[in-house]
Amino acid sequence: MSALIDIQDISKIYETGSFTVHALKNVSLKIKEGEFVSLVGPSGSGKSTLLHVLGFLDRPDSGDYHFAGSSTAKLSEGRLAAIRSGMIGFIFQSFHLLKRTTAKDNVLLPMVYSGLGTNSQKALKCLDLVGLTDRAKHKSNELSGGQCQRVAIARALINDPLVILADEPTGNLDAVSRQEVMKTLRELNEKGMTVIIVTHDDEICAQTKRIIRMKDGEIIADENREERDSSKAVAPVAHDTRLPKARFGFTPSEIAEQFKVAFKSIWNHKMRSALTVLGIFIGVGSIISLMTISEGFMKNLLSGAGEESAKKIWVGPKRSYLKSSKKLTYADVAAIKSCPLAEKVVPIIHGNAKISAGKKHVDASVQSMEGWTPEDRKKNKYLLDNRKIIGRFFTKEEENAMAKVVVINQALSKKLFGDKNPVNTDIRVKNIKFNVIGLVEDAQAEQLFGGRPTLYMPLQTAAKRVFGRSKLSFIEVSAASPEYTIEARKQIIMALRKIHPSRDDEDYFDVKTFEVQVRQFKSLMQQISLMVYGIAGISLLVGGIGIMNIMLVSVTERTREIGLRKALGAKKSDILGQFLIEAVVLCLLGGLLGIGFGVGTAWIAYIFIKVQPALGIGTVSFAFGFSSIIGISFGFWPAMRAASLDPIEALRYE
């Protein structure tokens, strides 16, 4: 039978600054399955170094290591982790149990990284083997030293290793516990387990079957004390001795462990975590509040826009031509009326004028309208976007007669009459006396800022009596039905181009449909968004750096835990995943609170701007997606640092 452990000329040299230490000098050693070996020697003789090499926690600088019949010189880090996980049971002098974790969960830890999923039944069996069945639910701080070390032995057994490597397992224990632990190890060996323990205690090594003495990195004696009694020898347990492949991905039980660790770590540092996510909270919150408000606006705009608005087309001069003499005329109205798809064509004059009532004077916007026909009145909402009216609107007859009647909006009424009902009072527009026949609610968008004082009068009155000109401000056209608007718009453009040949290939008029208006609203929102996103971006950047900072702290604090996990078989990606998950969970918490904050802000804004915020599924997933991205990108470096830690150095970290 070939040896389980076969090392040839192993050397290990430590170079620390100015001096070099030959921790191992050409050590050769064979250990067979079922042996019970002690490595003895004074402090600094290289015992631990040798044990680490044997347990794949460290690589030798030179020499050969055959384990279970296979050469191990060229194995990747991932395969070494898999060997540590499945074939080696390591026991440390200072136990290295996870704090505030039950005995059972501590025992289960190597199983998390075995790639096979955890099995509580087996953990209980292992605890039974070390005589701790009744302590399974006790946390590590509720156990004595001897019990802790026996939990560690149970942990070493959980993945059915080929060998148990124990580095001064009794070093931290009193005499009674020492005997307990040695008894446990002896019993394991009697059942066929290969056990190698490092010690400098003669009493301990006297209980083993083979004593290897070391000094200054060399083996100076190898004493086999086993009486060759083949009848007593236990037949070695049949093992699969092929070296395991590297493991990829995470098992569900590992992901569960990672989330558990993440939540525990955040929960144990509540204040710190809360301060850390502040930046994310504000950043996500401001984006969410903007998004919900703008989404609410959009919903409002679209729901207020019935078929009537969807049918509308507005023809007006281009902004750049506003000041020029080019204005729309009645000839244009006639041209548009000739378009087959333009069903209703309403010329509109628009201007500013001084309005007076008694001693009060207000500058207001004056807008002409066509008078309502009896049919319009039935629809009521035709020209004023469904706004409520007190009194009445002017009629077609009044328009034709250039009647001096006006409808005013709330904003103007408030300025001129306060809370009094203005209907049937007289006001003066450019010193011409008019009768107020109706009061109309402010337009929805205007309610934002209290509305601009506005006054509506018949078209002919505005054209001939007030502005004294026939140039139109714009023309409102309705297509036969919403689906014709695009085609109707084309017809209008063609008709107008016949009258006004385009100059430099540019029309001086603008023809907009409702769709265009929506698009314009969106582009306005985008401009506002840009600003908010800027602020949110800075906040998120600061938040991200905060995350990175706290994750670095967390990695430093948990260096020994990381070392332990790696020693027990966690591979690089397991540690990377664990810290990334912690960063992401932290960011998601910030994002979740941010959504609450953003929606809350939007509802507060609702009190002032009367636009009900709308929280879409898209907005929520955006917030979560975004938070995750921040968590991953800012958590990556700290997680990478954790993942690249050397297990032995990490375990030694103070």
* 45: contact with Mg ion by CB under 5 A: no
* Residue of 7, 23, 75, 587 interacting with ligand ADP (CB under 6 A): 23
Smaller CB separation from Mg ion, 48 or 72: 48
Smaller CB separation from Mg ion, 172 or 628: 172
Q: Which residues contact 233 (CB under 8 A, 6 or more apart)?
A: 34
Residue 264 CA to residue 196 CA, distance in Å, equals: 35
* 431: contact with ligand ADP by CB under 6 A: no
Q: Which does 84 bind (CB under 5 to 8 A by kind): ligand ADP, Mg ion, none?
A: none
Smallest distance, Å, CB 52 to ligand ADP?
8
* Residue of 6, 37, 48, 482 interacting with ligand ADP (CB under 6 A): 48
Q: In this structure, what token pair is assigned to residue 231?
A: 């009848």
Q: Going along 443-508, which residue ranges are E strands?
A: 454-458, 474-479
* 48: contact with Mg ion by CB under 5 A: yes
Distance of CA 56 to the CA centre of its chain: 37
Smallest distance, Å, CB 202 to ligand ADP?
16
Smaller CB separation from Mg ion, 46 or 453: 46
How many residues in the shown chain lie near Mg ion by CB under 5 A?
A: 1
Smaller CB separation from Mg ion, 208 or 409: 208
Smaller CB separation from Mg ion, 187 or 202: 202
Q: In this structure, what token pair is assigned to residue 27?
A: 């050590």
The CB-nearest residue to Mg ion is 48
How many residues in the shown chain lie near ligand ADP by CB under 6 A?
A: 12
* 7: contact with ligand ADP by CB under 6 A: no
* Residue of 16, 230, 325, 431 interacting with ligand ADP (CB under 6 A): 16
Q: Which does 640 bind (CB under 5 to 8 A by kind): Mg ion, ligand ADP, none?
A: none
Smallest distance, Å, CB 171 to Mg ion?
9
Smaller CB separation from ligand ADP, 139 or 560: 560
* 45: contact with ligand ADP by CB under 6 A: yes
Of 47-55, 237-245, 278-286, 548-556, which segment contacts ligand ADP by CB under 6 A?
47-55
* 303: contact with ligand ADP by CB under 6 A: no
Closest residue by Cα to residue 196 from 187, 180, 208, 178: 208
* 171: contact with ligand ADP by CB under 6 A: no
Q: Which residues pair with 440 in a beta bridge?
A: 389, 409
Three-state DSSP at 610 gives: coil
Residue 474 CA to residue 511 CA, distance in Å, equals: 10
State residue 373 phi and psi, 5-degree precision.
Answer: -85, 165
Residue 117 CA to residue 251 CA, distance in Å, equals: 6
- Note the maximum CA span of the chain: 131
Q: Which residues pair with 537 in a beta bridge?
A: none
Smallest distance, Å, CB 92 to Mg ion?
10
Three-state DSSP at 450 gives: coil
The CB-nearest residue to ligand ADP is 48
CB count in 10 Å sphere of residue 279 = 24
Q: Which does 23 bind (CB under 5 to 8 A by kind): ligand ADP, Mg ion, none?
A: ligand ADP
Smaller CB separation from Mg ion, 42 or 537: 42
Q: Which residues pair with 439 in a beta bridge?
A: 390, 408
Smaller CB separation from ligand ADP, 21 or 605: 21
Q: Which does 492 bind (CB under 5 to 8 A by kind): Mg ion, ligand ADP, none?
A: none
Q: In this structure, what token pair is assigned to residue 228?
A: 């060759």
Q: Which residues contact 13 (CB under 8 A, 6 or more apart)?
A: 20, 21, 22, 23, 61
Smaller CB separation from ligand ADP, 16 or 325: 16
Smallest distance, Å, CB 49 to Mg ion?
8
Considering only residues 49 to 108 of the shown chain, the ones binding ligand ADP according to CB under 6 A are 49
Distance of CA 356 to the CA centre of its chain: 58
* 559: contact with ligand ADP by CB under 6 A: no
Q: Which residues contact 539 (CB under 8 A, 6 or more apart)?
A: 279, 282, 283, 286
Residue 552 CA to residue 128 CA, distance in Å, equals: 39
* Residue of 4, 47, 366, 651 interacting with ligand ADP (CB under 6 A): 47
* 44: contact with ligand ADP by CB under 6 A: yes
* Residue of 29, 31, 36, 46 interacting with ligand ADP (CB under 6 A): 46
CB count in 10 Å sphere of residue 249 = 9
Distance of CA 635 to the CA centre of its chain: 11
* 199: contact with ligand ADP by CB under 6 A: no
- The gap between the terminal CA atoms of the chain, to the nearest Å, is 43
**Nearest-5° Cα angle at 615, 612 to 619:** 140
* Residue of 2, 9, 14, 538 interacting with ligand ADP (CB under 6 A): 14
* One character per residue 24-43, x = contact with ligand ADP (rule: CB under 6 A): -----------------x-x
Q: Which does 208 bind (CB under 5 to 8 A by kind): Mg ion, ligand ADP, none?
A: none
State residue 649 phi and psi, 5-degree precision.
Answer: -60, -40
Smaller CB separation from ligand ADP, 22 or 404: 22
Smallest distance, Å, CB 73 to ligand ADP?
21
Smallest distance, Å, CB 556 to ligand ADP?
19
What is the full DSSP assignment across 199-222? E--HHHHTTSSEEEEEETTEEEEE
* Residue of 3, 21, 129, 480 interacting with ligand ADP (CB under 6 A): 21
Smaller CB separation from ligand ADP, 43 or 303: 43
Smallest distance, Å, CB 45 to Mg ion?
9
Q: In this structure, what token pair is assigned to residue 187?
A: 């019993």
Three-state DSSP at 614 gives: coil
**Nearest-5° Cα angle at 469, 463 to 472:** 70
State residue 379 phi and psi, 5-degree precision.
Answer: -75, -30
Site residues for ligand ADP per CB under 6 A:
14, 16, 21, 23, 41, 43-49
Site residues for Mg ion per CB under 5 A:
48
